[in-house]
Amino acid sequence: MSVIAVYSPKGGVGKSTLAVDLAWRCAVPGGRRTLLWDLDVQGGASYLMGLDEDERPRALAAFQRDTPPGQLATPTRFDRLGVIGADASLRTLPLHLARIGRRKRLARLTEELQRDFERIIIDAPAGQNEVTEQIIAGADVLIVPLPPSPLSARALDLLRADLTRHHRRHPPILPVLSMYDSRRKAHREARAGAMAAYPVIPYSSAIEQSAVQRAPVGTFARHAEGAHALDRLWRAIEVKLGELEARG
Ligand SMILES: Nc1ncnc2c1ncn2[C@@H]1O[C@H](COP(=O)(O)OP(=O)(O)OP(=O)(O)O)[C@@H](O)[C@H]1O
Ligand SMILES: [Mg+2]
């Protein structure tokens, strides 16, 4: 079982869009039992999956009681893809985790979930708090979407420094150049520098449509350039996970 967290301290960089599409790829073309876990109170991934707001806020329950987390996951319309949606109850999660003082609560939950799932994709909130710390501590790989800008390169440096300082062991970071527009000089320049080696997700109207269709990109725009880029990214992540597994 592998935990893939899509995380950036910055908001609006394409985390939820990426998380939803990657989860669908793991489950449908990838054929693995996959869980998409939305841990952002804003519920971006839940919205993109077409989930309606749950009248009974219970996203926090996984962290509160001894509810087996497997029971919190609900099936989706896609084979092998389950979801734990976000709701307003997550608002108090940082406080709750800080109060119960269990540093590895989230990692313990994902361990329990491996009975039911081979891949867990976490859509993390932006910012830095107890929730994101636990997501980082519990992930096998961190996907960090970066819009092409010198500010993103700086944000990545700061993130690396922060992880080294605060985590004895932290997962490998896979930076992804997101929303790349080759017509823009600043984007081309950013890519020519430190970001040259990173996988690229183009700025694409097909990807943007994910929020309109409320569906993973791969389900409605299979042949769009953006979908091919997402497919390549998913394959690169699988290769990375394979290497990590081989290393033990
Ligand atoms: N590659 C892309 N091309 C065009 N539009 C995109 C792309 N990726 C994401 N978007 C759009 O950009 C907006 C922000 O994307 P998304 O919600 O996935 O970001 P986020 O990092 O999860 O944001 P937040 O921090 O608010 O949760 C959305 O409207 C989404 O449809
Ligand atoms: Mg989001």
C-alpha 12 – ligand 2 centre gap (Å): 7
Answer whether 223's CB lies under 8 Å from 28's CB.
no
C-alpha 46 – ligand 2 centre gap (Å): 9
If you take atom 12 of ligand 1, which residue's CA is the nearest one? 14
pTM value?
Answer: 0.96
Placement of tokens 């929303």 in the chain: 179
Please list the pLDDT of the chain residue by residue as tens digits (248 residues): 999 999 999 999 999 999 999 999 999 999 999 999 999 999 999 999 999 876 666 888 888 866 777 788 999 999 999 999 999 999 999 998 888 876 778 998 999 999 999 999 999 999 999 999 999 999 999 999 999 998 898 999 999 999 999 888 889 999 999 999 999 999 999 998 778 999 999 999 999 999 999 999 999 999 999 999 999 999 999 999 999 989 87
Strands in 7-161 per DSSP E: 34-38, 74-75, 81-84, 119-123, 141-146
Segment 172-210, tens digit of pLDDT: 999 999 999 999 999 999 998 778 999 999 999 999 999
Measured from the Cα of 8, ligand 1's closest atom is: 21
What are the structural domains of the chain?
2-247 (3.40.50.300)
Ligand nearest to the CA of 45: 2
Query: Between the CA of residue 19 and those of 34, 66, 177, 205, what are the distances in Å?
Result: 12, 27, 15, 17
